[in-house]
Chains A and B, each alone.
Chain A
């Protein structure tokens, strides 16, 4: 299975400051159709995961533009330009290129 690694696993942030989460895959995530199926999800306390970013850098409708995704090959990043209180939760990367699809361990974002 493709192993997804995230760092840091815990990220205390100051509201208004930027934050960055790294996700690394054990294999290249380029699929045969040329797409890279690397997605980012936010899970707020007590809620189901919500997709923020799909295929590396495409932001979902309704997702604030302070969230952005980037990367290629095996290294990917989710950035929050200015953290707000509502951003508290666990963030997961997930690869949908190689079966079985796999998730990272999650990064817990909370406020300092």
Chain B
């Protein structure tokens, strides 16, 4: 059974960089695409981007200038960094397996942007 677990700071100051990690178990990280998705409290769901072990990445144009998704195959982890955050980046951040069909999700982690 695939398990994904997000980790990282729950509070980030405005203008700083948000960094999250997703730990994968139960699946080979080289066999699938891996995604980051977010959901602001009480709002809709936004696809951030995805990564493949070959280095392929794709980012939502709305965030492209600020986002990086990378992978550490040795640790079976992939990561999200989002720079120059504002209150609008406050959201539950989810990692998910695969890209087009998102079959497994982590439990999500709430990141609040506030001074």
Flag if A55 contacts B94 (CB, 8 Å). Answer: no
B94 CB to nearest A CB, Å: 6
Contacts of A101 in B (CB 8 A): 47, 99-100
Flag if B100 contacts A103 (CB, 8 Å). Answer: no
Q: A37-B100, A49-B94 are in contact. Are A100 and B108 (CB under 8 A)?
A: no
Which A33-72 residues sit within 8 Å CB-CB of chain B? 37, 39, 41, 47-51, 54-55, 60
Asked if B53 CB lies within 8 Å of chain A CBs, one says no
Flag if A54 contacts B101 (CB, 8 Å). Answer: yes
Give the total of A residues in contact with B, Cβ under 8 Å: 23
Flag if B60 contacts A54 (CB, 8 Å). Answer: no
Indicate with 1 or 0, residue by residue over B91-113, a CB within 8 angstroms of chain A CB atoms.
00010000111111111100000
Flag if B44 contacts A39 (CB, 8 Å). Answer: no
Indicate with 1 or 0, residue by residue over A58-101, a CB within 8 angstroms of chain B CB atoms.
00100000000000000000000000000000001010110111
Indicate with 1 or 0, residue by residue over B72-105, a CB within 8 angstroms of chain A CB atoms.
0000000000000000000000100001111111
Contacts of A103 in B (CB 8 A): 44-47
Flag if B44 contacts A105 (CB, 8 Å). Answer: yes
Flag if B108 contacts A48 (CB, 8 Å). Answer: yes
Q: How large is the interface on B (under 10, 10 to 19, 20 to 34, 35 or more residues)?
A: 10 to 19
Flag if B94 contacts A60 (CB, 8 Å). Answer: no
Contacts of B46 in A (CB 8 A): 103
Q: CA A102 – CA B44 in complex, angstroms?
A: 10
Flag if B100 contacts A51 (CB, 8 Å). Answer: no
Which A residue sits closest to B45, measured CB to CB? A103
Which B residue sits closest to A41, measured CB to CB? B102
Which A residue sits closest to B4, measured CB to CB? A48
Q: Which residues of B pack against A, CB within 8 Å? A: 44-47, 58, 60-62, 94, 99-108
Q: Knowing that A100-B60, A106-B44 are A-B contacts, what are 10 other residue pairs whose CB atoms are under 8 Å apart, sorted by A's residue number? A: A37-B101, A41-B102, A49-B105, A54-B101, A96-B102, A100-B47, A101-B47, A101-B99, A102-B47, A103-B46
